[in-house]
Structure 1
Amino acid sequence: MSNTVAEPAAIATGPSRGTGILVVAVLVAVLLGSIVVAIGLGSASVAPADTVRYLWAALAGGPISADEVPTYEIVWQLRTPRVLLAVVVGAGLSAVGVAVQAMVRNPLADPFVLGVSSGASVGAVSVLVFGVLAAAGIYAISLGAFVGALGAAALVHLASRGRSGTGGATPLRLVLTGIALAYAFQAAMALLIYLAPQGEATSTVLFWTLGSFGAATWGVLPLVVVIVVVGVVLLWRRARDLDVLALGDETATSMGVDTTVLRRRLFVLTSVMTGAMVAVSGAIGFVGLIVPHLVRIVAGSTHTKVLVIAPLAGAIFAVWVDLLSRTVVAPRELPLGVITALVGVPVFLLLMRRRGYVFGGS
């Protein structure tokens, strides 16, 4: 299969290279500023200058006075891993959303359209109800969710293949199979919760399925960071193939892209990325749906640009959503899915009413 194809003239190239670099530079600056602000704000607020000083002390071994140790511990041990997890998950969901929308040629597709999140929920509930994977300790729920997500992806892939078992999964078949199995997984999760002997499992699972970065620790971060970073890089290397795949299988085939093999590889990659993110944060809706559309308005539809800008925009969005979730009704915490829905629904409706905007660009 050819890894590089000529960019078709029908695909809008978007802003110039110089404008694209400026957009990336601005987003990086905004992201860094957002990280500092998000780490400093909370039940115990820390000034940005002190936040930077504590971070520098943690990274470079700078001095911290004895009376500052409690605040330093809050900044470094509690808030920093949480904010960094928001950055990674926001970036990953946005990149996966871009890829899935091109893979299934559906503007309504998001990282969870193929049933991965529902499978992860079944895995997490199984851990809570039956105590499976208890040997994993505090990571049992995340491990169960990851296993459930990969299991769901495997079922969707097998069920969406042709009758002979050798045919490739078409975009429509992938989406319909994913939606059908998602309903089945949700029914299984509801049954498990109903049969659960303790009522606490219900509230825990409900909160987890709506998304939260509350379980973030330094031990959780490395694996999900590696998976998401490697996944985003691999998706970016396939950017030209995604350009032609979005135009249809016939066009892609005529330009030297084996759509069956490409779609299978993309499905595996996006499933692993989504499973890893859902395992540590739950299912956070609308990030992977809305951010790709907003980025295409700014950057055009060329995936080499979209797959650079979308992760940055998604990271910024996730950081601020998480900040709102833990400060709006403090000391209680709102599920992330509540806030992303409150923001995402109006934005999506505005996009639909925006004159001249179509899937893939404006």
Structure 2
Amino acid sequence: MLADNASTLVAAERRTTRPRVRLALLALAAVGVVLAYLTIGALDAFALIAPMRAQRVASMLLVGIAIAVSTVLFQTVTENRILTPAIMGFDSLYALIQTTAIFFLGTTAVIGVAPPLRFAIEVAAMLVMSFLLFRWIFGGPRRSLYLVVLVGIVLGVFFRSISTFMQRVIDPNDFLVVQDRLFASFNAVDPTLLALCAAVVAGTCVWVWRSHRELDVLALGRENAVTLGVDHRRRTMSVLLVCAVLVSVSTALVGPITFFGLLVANLAYQVAGSHRHAVVLPTAALLAVITLVGGQAVLEHVFGLDTVLSVIIEFLGGIVFILLLVRGGRR
């Protein structure tokens, strides 16, 4: 009897220790990747090059953490690992905002708008859309959460259709400007926005961390969550609003990255060795940092900035998405 209890305690301790070891290794890898990016090829003029690279690293940290956390949360409440918050139409709305602004105001007027004002308008538009959508879904009789996904897909197609129409009739030079804004870039981030974004991301992450036990219960499904005393409807609404804030801020800061969250979230489930959000969330965030900073380093020092990092991420994320669909279809 004592031997069985001892073996159970040892097994439980191992299950607790292994995720901690993996998190420690990922943290060391993230620090190493960041230091490598800051120092490779910059030792001769470190004082000049380091501040510019540090600004890019800061933007990659914020975007990586925001997208990773929001994707894990969204997959928790939808109970589906092939969905991301981008499916609710954020990317299409961002494209519509950029296209509409240049279509009606012109490139010169849009470029002349102060970055903080443009950032505030874009974030406000995406948050208002999200709030109205969630309020409609959860304000009346209980509806399926998948209705959010369906409505998001429809809105995304609608926004994309309007954007495509306007892009076909605008001046070719304006079209090039629009296309440039539709690809995520970490090289043109306004430094005045980093402090604001850091405050928003940090505040939401603190709330998420304090709620990680309730998130574990939500992952069990609605019936089990209600049985265990969690207000499923209110908590789901809160989680979706947090996802909307994180995705809106990251999209307005650097542009849309559709499949990046899908890539790091599913990789985090494989690496974490646990389904607890206290492990999965930091694992996903660290993997996002390693992927973005490491990818940017390879892009700059190996490919000489011949392409955009978001293009490579979207390509790999799309492959992961297809593989998940194929694997789910076989099951």
TM-score with structure 2 setting the length: 0.84
Count of residues in Structure 1 that have an aligned counterpart in Structure 2? 315
Letter of the aligned partner of 1:280 in structure 2? L
Letter of the aligned partner of 1:143 in structure 2? A
**What aligned pairs does 1:253-264 form with structure 2 within 5 A after superposition?**
253-264=226-237
Deviation at 1:265, TM superposition (A): 0.9
- Is the CA contact (8 Å cut-off) linking 2:299 and 2:305 kept in structure 1? no
Q: Which residue of 2 aligns with 1:57?
A: none
- Is the CA contact (8 Å cut-off) linking 1:97 and 1:288 kept in structure 2? yes
Query: Using the alignment, how far apart are the partners of 2:189 and 2:157 within structure 1?
Result: 29
Residue ranges of structure 1 left out of the alignment (5+ in a row): 1-12, 51-67
The superposition leaves residues 17-58 of structure 1 with CA deviations (integer Å, 9 ceiling, x where unpaired) of 2222222222222111111222345xxx224xx6xxxxxxxx
Q: 1:331 to 1:17 in 2, by over 3 A?
A: closer
SS in 1 for 2:248: helix
Q: Counting helix residues as a fraction of each chain, which structure ranks higher?
A: 2
Q: Which residue of 2 aligns with 1:60?
A: none
Aligned partner of 1:238 among 191, 198, 211: 211
Q: Which residue of 2 aligns with 1:305?
A: 279
SS in 2 for 1:231: helix
Q: 1:158 to 1:180 in 2, by over 3 A?
A: farther
Letter of the aligned partner of 1:263 in structure 2? T
Residue ranges of structure 2 left out of the alignment (5+ in a row): 1-11
Q: Which residue of 1 aligns with 2:158?
A: 184
Letter of the aligned partner of 2:75 in structure 1? Q
- Is the CA contact (8 Å cut-off) linking 1:208 and 1:283 kept in structure 2? no
Q: Which residue of 2 aligns with 1:130?
A: 104
The superposition leaves residues 258-317 of structure 1 with CA deviations (integer Å, 9 ceiling, x where unpaired) of 111111111111101110100011111222112122111222211121112211111111
**What aligned pairs does 1:1-362 form with structure 2 within 5 A after superposition?**
16-41=15-40, 45-47=41-43, 68=45, 72-76=47-51, 78-131=52-105, 136-161=113-138, 165-196=139-170, 198-299=171-272, 300-327=274-301, 329-332=303-306, 334-348=307-321
SS in 1 for 2:70: helix
Letter of the aligned partner of 2:42 in structure 1? V
Percent identity over paired residues: 25
Q: 1:176 to 1:232 in 2, by over 3 A?
A: same
Deviation at 1:354, TM superposition (A): 8.0
Letter of the aligned partner of 2:74 in structure 1? V
Q: 1:344 to 1:116 in 2, by over 3 A?
A: closer
- Is the CA contact (8 Å cut-off) linking 1:125 and 1:205 kept in structure 2? yes
SS in 1 for 2:304: coil
SS in 2 for 1:227: helix
SS in 2 for 1:265: helix
Q: 1:338 to 1:331 in 2, by over 3 A?
A: closer
- Is the CA contact (8 Å cut-off) linking 2:68 and 2:284 kept in structure 1? yes
Query: Using the alignment, how far apart are the partners of 2:308 and 2:29 within structure 1?
Result: 24
